[in-house]
Structure 1
């Protein structure tokens, strides 16, 4: 753990310098042949120093899946070993944090990460914003993850209500 604490956060430095935050430098992973290192639950627990963040990843991931069951993740045009995604805050609706993750297929699968939240720059452990895309890409999609049925029904009902309110607003115009 001491070795993690002593590390510089290289992704933070790259984001701060403007090298990784320009919108045009990113492609959706579904538009390319994308692969990510597979990890088991023990690997994830070691990476995040426990299971607290891993327990939060399921609901975070469910909130960020699109209608096709895909996670909106982007890969860098310049470096195919860095991804980013936007994660909505659980505490404030209008806030979203960008997360950057550097990975490798040789040696350690996850090399570094950075999130824009208050605790996202740490190098020992990670926030749930960072844990979610790592968990989804490295574990969940290889282990037949699907959203909980109850949450799917609630989400569908909310979307239907929003659709009804949108259509009733256009009728009165």
Structure 2
């Protein structure tokens, strides 16, 4: 995906900026970003007759420290372009049931899988602040 594709999918840049921040928070904490993959390639109950892949992400809430949102994305394994490959998505957040656009949690997964992991160097926002420490010697 290109950045223009992401903007089109999200219907703007707000969710993309949020996705970068969510990603940066995970990278800072444990150095990795985990996306879970459903082990079966044919997902029961889908309307399509081709193979589909169900992925799940766990995104921690920015507002509640103990809240984790589960994000599900159904991806067609047989499509060549991204417009037809994302069959559906859902997030357990309050905005996750959108029919137009997507929430920042869904965008975090799409942004990472479709764009960020293919880049040479993706840094967390304001990561230069992580190296600034003022220590008082005793």
TM-score by length of 1: 0.60
Candidates 23, 31, 55, aligned match of 2:17: 55
State the 1:109 CA deviation. 2.8
Q: Does 1:147 align with 2:124?
A: yes
Q: Which residue of 2 aligns with 1:160?
A: none
Deviations 1:93-119 (A, max 9, x none): 111100001123515132211000011
State the 1:67 CA deviation. 6.8
Q: Which residue of 2 aligns with 1:64?
A: 26
RMSD over aligned CA atoms reads 2.2
Structure number having the greater helix percentage: 1
Structure 1 gaps of 5+ residues are: 1-38, 158-173
Contact 1:66 1:72 in 2 (8 A): no
Q: Which residue of 1 aligns with 2:48?
A: none
Partner Cα distance (2:31, 2:92) in 1: 25
Q: Which residues of 2 match residues 14-53 of structure 1 at below 5 A?
A: 39-53=1-15
Contact 1:112 1:123 in 2 (8 A): no
Candidates 68, 92, 100, aligned match of 1:96: 68
Q: How many residues are aligned here?
A: 117
Structure 2 gaps of 5+ residues are: 42-51, 134-138
